[in-house]
Structure 1
Amino acid sequence: MQALNDFLLLIDSYIGSHIWFVLLLLGTGIFFTIYLKFPQIRFFKYAIRIVQGKFDKEDDEGDTSHFQALTTALSGTVGTGNIAGVAFAVHLGGPAALFWMLVTAMFGMTTKFVEVTLSHKYREKAQDGSIAGGPMYFMRKRLNISTKSGKTIKTGYWIAGIFAIATILSSFGTGSLPQINSISNSLFSTFGIPHMVTGLVLAILLAFVIIGGIKRIAKVTSRLVPAMALIYFIGAMAVILFNYENIWPSIQSVVGDIFTGSSATGGFLGATIAFAFNRGVNRGLFSNEAGQGSAPIAHAAAKAHEPVSEGMVALLEPFIDTIIICTLTGFVLLSSGVWSEKIDNRFQLADLQVLNTNEVSDQTDEGKMTLSDHISGEESLPLFSGQIGVKDGKISSPVTMIHARSLAEDVKVKKGNTLYNGQLNVSNGNIVIKDEHQSLIERIKSQFTQSGNNQIIIEGKSLIHSAPLTAVAFTKSWFGQFGQYIVSIGLLLFAFSTAISWSYYGDRAVTYLWGSKYVIWYHFVYVIGFFVASFVDTTIIWTLSGITIALMTIPNLFGLLFLHKEMKSDVKRFWKEYKQRFPEEKNVPQD
């Protein structure tokens, strides 16, 4: 598992986590924001009117309404990114990461407006009569190169094919795997429900919904999204108001750390400006998916005769998803203070590292600096290899453990429910436990038999991240321990709806590449993958999601930039029609 995670991290370091990807993403949003004269501000009120059906015609063609398309796309974006992703970003980059998430969302509103408009414009009818659309369609039709001799090089076909394949991969890396992983982890920590039981039940429900196609998906998501948003809002506001004295300090920490990086505090060992910027933008994209090209696939099914109108509907997504919901999560984490506190938890091996020294401490400024440099990769401390002794659950060898980017304390090793006595094998700082290499059949069997109680477990105090961190934060309110149930329920609804929407995105990509008849096989693999991911290590899944996001985003952004002039012409044409239909309105934008 660790070797696989290291390999995926190496790949991700050259694409999704690299600074050039972040600059391309933000740069595209900034370019279109200036080029189209801040449409996220000027067009906002018109976007709300269009969602209400003010611009519709009776003969508009499509499978869903504006509102259903918006909620379907929102269900694809409002997921673990809002609960687990924000917590992960703050865990890595500190409070400043939240600021960069909001910046990403602001420019992402324009990016999503552009990508949905172009995709809706070039949508088609599939073999089964349903509407099929997405970036692959405008890529195939508009990104070909004409030579001086009059020949056409079909580059658009290749780019569209790459995007479609990346969409299928991303439907697992974004929509299926991390969603069920976060759900199963949350339900296990809150209610003690075995991971595979959660995975099995939800996989059956998922199969039932997605077999009904976009119309059933739209009906389900149009009910789920408002309900889950209301539940989550009430729980988040309860935490923020309960800790009202920390609201202003939280705002100060977000703004004050933008250009300085986040200092070490509590168990948090600090983060540089560059790291906070990179993680904030990266997690911001994972949350609202602006530029990734996923939402245009859902919006392509909307009933609309004018593509720019549907683009305006999409403009609302990053605002709702990131500027509202992610901000709520961020201030829950900061006002409660749990983001920098060490908490009793079960260690994940992919987050655990063993150092060949016990002379480093996080109680002094010098020790914090040494640990921070090691975690950031600037200077490495010696890693342990060999065997470490364990007596009555306590480590007897002179080593130090780092878990979740913090110095682990009160470490206990158990075998099932009893304290462990024996040896742990360590290779280059990574603990190797035989149970981690069980076959799939053995893992499934261990979940439903007594053998599942004999696994080696390492527990202790350390920082935590992702959904468990948000769950702890929600207990710091009038609801007390019941607050964690809000997170569990919210995560269940958020993440499950995301998995539903992403099955449709992958479905359309399969339809584009091979036709409608192969969709059933994709659905089968999607549901199986959804089940398996319920008991796979969280860290590896987050790493995989970062790679698949990049594989979709890069060709999509280049396509948007290539068609910038066409986009501007379409916007002018829309406002011309709008003025003809509503001549009584004043101060209507010109372009």
Structure 2
Amino acid sequence: MHHTLLPYLTAIDHFIWGPPLLLLLVGTGVYFTFRLGLLQITRLPLALKYLFSGKKSAGEQGDVSSFAALCTALSATIGTGNIVGVATAVKLGGPGALFWMWMAALFGMATKYAECLLAVKYREKVDGKYLGGPMLYLEKGAGQPILAKLFALFTVCVACLGIGTFPQVNAIADAGRLTFGLPPIVIASILAVLVGAVTLGGIQAISSVASKIVPTMTIIYVSACTLVLVNFADQIPAALEQIISSAFTGSAATGGFVGAGIMLAIQSGIARGVFSNESGLGSAPMAAASAQTDSCVKQGLISMVGTFLDTIIICTMTGLALILTGVWSGDSQGAAMTTEAFSLGLSADFAPLLVTTGLMFFAFTTILGWNYYGERCVVYLWGKRAVLPYKLVFIALIFSGVFIQLDMIWLIADIVNGLMAIPNLIGLILLRHVVIEETQLFFNNLKNGAFAKDTL
């Protein structure tokens, strides 16, 4: 079964993630970057200020704080993509893949800003909870109900068959087996129980778990990466040079002619970058829509920080650790490759434990975040009564995820991801004027002192 399906899935994956989608993804980001005047660079300090100020202003409405909403979104984005995805990209596309991840992230920040701004602008209350995201801005803003339903349907598929379940469960099972010697069935059972316990509590429970785990694990993981970088500090300039030069010359571990090497670096860098930071997929807007905020622009700025933290900081650190320690050109793959980099880089016995724990927590919170995204789309498509059946199916899939093979998992995840991005990107293009008008209005008001306490 596995071998008969694989060639078909590979063909579908190459078709969906071919030049048209990559151009649409990056093109949308490039368009917003220049139309909004490099907002992701010039307004990053303001975005960070909003994120950490924590001050509530009058007129804020929402289910959870902006910080908790960002943590929910980050819980879904900071996951195996940062540990396993980076390893897969660098293995496939060589060090140059990291450069293309940066490009995907830089332009992706503008896309993330636009989609989260629209999510807050077009959100509405359903059964006392905010519902928002591409399905609502496609329907209410762009007047495209069919695209809205397609987006919601693909999101449920991503939650159940893509990023939300199999890659994460598989990574946790793998890590648990390598480090603690636990059999997959034990890990599957524990996971299913834990996921069930949290997700049945809804957005408040998910965001409260996410707001505790995500910042803590991120700090621990980034500190460990920093130690590796400090130990190899003298080699960092050479590694950066290698990343930039191989981005344009191609030096993939898999060989092949130069042009193919560059294309592979671009394709794996961008596809994995998007898998990791989810800019343009339309997932983060669903978490942003639940944020307590008085301005869609403000929430857009806060959400944009997610892509910066996820890819520019965390993925870069993982990538550098892989390149500096030289494991990228070795035999290891996935999580084992990152574990090996930490073992070499930290020359400590606890290194594998660190990667495993990081991976387990990141993957666990990703499952929670995606469970929430799927639920929002289930509510949109079939109403509140469908939530419980959805959650039960989701928990059953978590349990079965440990028994599916890795190559198949990444292919399925990539395919449904790509399908989800298409309607969302069409929506962003159709509503580009709304994004630009709202942004100009907000910054004009800011300049004229309309919100006295917010001025820089």
Alignment TM-score, normalising by the size of structure 2: 0.95
Counterpart residue number, 1:7: 8
Q: 1:163 aligns with which of 132, 135, 151?
A: 151
**Take 1:288 and 1:584, find their aligned partners in 2: how far apart are those partners?**
31
In 2, Cα distance between equivalents of 1:245 and 1:230: 24
> How much does 1:574 deviate?
1.6
Determine if the alignment matches structure 1 residue 559 to structure 2 residue 427.
yes
Aligned mate of 1:285, from 255, 274, 277: 274
TM-superposition CA deviations, 1:351-394 (whole Å, max 9, x none): xxxxxxxxxxxxxxxxxxxxxxxxxxxxxxxxxxxxxxxxxxxx
Deviation at 1:131, TM superposition (A): 1.0
SS in 1 for 2:247: coil
- Cα deviation, residue 52, structure 1: 3.1
Matched, 1:470 2:338: yes
- Is residue 306 of structure 1 aligned with residue 295 of structure 2? yes
| Matching residue within 563, 577, 580 for 2:449 | 580
Letter in 1 for 2:449: Q
Q: Is contact 1:242–1:476 with CA below 8 Å preserved after alignment? A: no
How far did 1:466 drift? Answer: 1.4
In 1, distance between residues paired with 2:54 and 2:394? Answer: 38
Partner SS state of residue 475, structure 1: helix
Q: Following TM superposition, by how much is the alpha carbon of 1:54 offset from its aligned partner in structure 2, in angstroms? A: 6.6
- Report the AA paired with residue 182 of structure 1: A
- Choose which of 499, 504, 512 in structure 1 pairs with 2:367: 499
Between 167-176 and 290-299, report the one with greater CA deviation. 167-176
Instruction: Give the structure 2 partner of residue 413 of structure 1.
Output: none
The aligned residue for residue 110 of structure 2 is 110
Residue 239 of structure 1 deviates from its aligned partner by 2.0
Instruction: Report if aligned partners of 1:200, 1:531 keep a CA contact under 8 Å in 2.
Output: yes
CA distance in 1, matches of 2:412, 2:110: 27
> Residue deviations 1:291-343, cap 9 Å, x none?
000000001000112111100101101110000000000011001111112xx
Does structure 1 conserve the Cα–Cα contact (< 8 Å) formed by 2:100 and 2:270?
A: yes
Q: Distance in 1 between matches of 2:359 and 2:279?
A: 21
Query: 2:439 is matched by which residue type in structure 1?
Result: V
Deviates more, 1:563-572 or 1:53-62: 53-62
**Cα shift at 1:44:** 1.0
Aligned equivalent of 2:410, options 542, 556, 560: 542
Once residues 452 and 386 of structure 2 are traced to their aligned partners in structure 1, the CA distance between those partners, rounded to angstroms, is 48
Distance 1:263 1:159 in 2: 38
Once residues 481 and 6 of structure 1 are traced to their aligned partners in structure 2, the CA distance between those partners, rounded to angstroms, is 40
Of 178, 192, 201, 1:189 maps to 178
Task: Give secondary structure in 2 for the equivalent of 1:302.
Answer: coil
Residue 582 of structure 1: how far off its partner (Å): 4.0
- Tell me if structure 1 keeps the 8 A contact 2:111–2:280: yes
Checking the alignment, whether the CA contact within 8 Å between 2:116 and 2:288 is kept in structure 1 is yes
Residues in 1 aligned to 2:454 and 2:291: alpha-carbon distance in whole angstroms: 26
Deviation string 1:258-309 (CA, Å, 9 cap, x unpaired) is 2111165xxx536611111011000000000000000000010001121111
Amino acid at match of 2:74: L
Amino acid at match of 1:169: C
Query: Which residue in the other structure is 2:251 paired with?
Result: 262
Task: State the AA in 1 paired with 2:264.
Answer: F
Mapped contact 2:92–2:252 kept (Cα < 8 A): no
Does residue 138 in structure 1 map to residue 147 in structure 2?
no
Counterpart contact for 1:15–1:21, Cα < 8 Å: yes
Change (3 A) 1:54 1:67: closer
* Structure 1 residue 210 displacement after superposition: 0.6
Cα deviation for residue 5 of structure 1 reads 2.1
Give the equivalent residue in structure 1 for 2:57: 57
Specify the code of the residue in structure 2 equivalent to 1:257.
S
User: Which of the numbers 154, 163, 170 marks the counterpart of 1:174?
Assistant: 163
Quick one: structure 1 residues 141 and 263, their matched pair in 2 at CA, closer, same or farther if it must change by over 3 Å? closer
Deviation at 1:513, TM superposition (A): 0.3
8 Å Cα contact 1:244-1:335 kept in structure 2? no
Structure 1 letter corresponding to 2:440: K
Q: Does the 8 Å CA contact 1:101/1:284 hold for their aligned counterparts? A: yes
Contact 1:111 1:291 (C-alpha < 8 Å) held by counterparts: yes
Structure 1 contact 62–304 (Cα < 8 Å) conserved = yes
- d(CA) in 2 for partners of 1:245, 1:565: 48
Q: How many Å separate the matches in 1 of 2:354 and 2:25?
A: 33
State how far apart, in whole Å, the 1-side matches of 2:347 and 2:66 are: 36
Counterpart residue type for residue 564 of structure 1: R
Write the distance in 2 (CA, Å) between the matches of 1:82 and 1:96.
16
Contact 1:470 1:487 in 2 (8 A): yes
Distance in 1 of aligned mates of 2:229 and 2:55: 39
Cα RMSD of the aligned pairs, angstroms, is 1.6
Q: Which has the higher helix share?
A: 2
The answer as to whether partners of 1:184 and 1:535 remain within 8 angstroms in 2 is no
Distance 1:321 1:519 in 2: 29
Quick check: 1:240–1:336 contact (8 Å CA) kept in 2?
Answer: no
Paired with 1:100 and 1:81, the residues of 2 have a C-alpha distance of: 15
- Partner secondary structure for residue 233 of structure 1: helix
Which of 200, 203, 209 pairs up with 1:211?
200
- CA displacement 1:464-505 (0-9 Å, x = unmatched): 321111111110134433211111000001010000000000
Identity of aligned residues (%): 40
Q: Secondary structure at the match of 2:248?
A: coil
| 1:240 aligned partner | 229
Count of aligned pairs: 450
Contact 1:53 1:66 in 2 (8 A): no
User: CA distance change for structure 1 residues 241 and 49 in 2, over 3 Å: closer, same or farther?
Assistant: closer
Structure 2 residue 223 is matched with structure 1 residue 226: no
Q: What is the CA–CA distance in structure 2 between the aligned matches of 1:577 and 1:219, rounded to whole Å?
A: 33
Deviation of residue 57 (structure 1)?
2.2
Tell me, yes or no, if the aligned pair for 2:108 and 2:279 is still in contact at 8 Å: yes
- Structure 1 match to 2:89: 89
CA distance in 1, matches of 2:453, 2:407: 56
Contact 1:50/1:56 (<8 A) preserved: no
SS in 1 for 2:164: helix
Q: Distance in 1 between matches of 2:337 and 2:416?
A: 25
Give 1:59 deviation, angstroms.
Answer: 3.7
**Gap regions ≥5 residues in structure 2:** none
Q: Report the secondary structure of 2:60's partner residue.
A: coil
CA distance in 2: counterparts of 1:222 and 1:55, whole angstroms: 17
Retained in 1: the 8 A contact 2:109–2:304? yes
Q: Letter of the aligned partner of 2:184 in structure 1?
A: H
Q: Which has the higher contact order (CA 8 A, sep 6+)?
A: 2
CA distance in 1, matches of 2:130, 2:336: 39
Equivalent in the alignment of 1:41: 41
8 Å contact from structure 2 (residues 58, 294) kept in 1 = no
Q: Distance in 2 between matches of 1:481 and 1:91?
A: 25
1:55 positional shift = 6.9
- Flag the 1:340–1:122 CA change in 2: closer, same or farther, 3 A: same
Tell me, yes or no, if the aligned pair for 2:76 and 2:366 is still in contact at 8 Å: yes
SS of 1:52's equivalent in the other structure is helix
More strand as a share of residues: 1
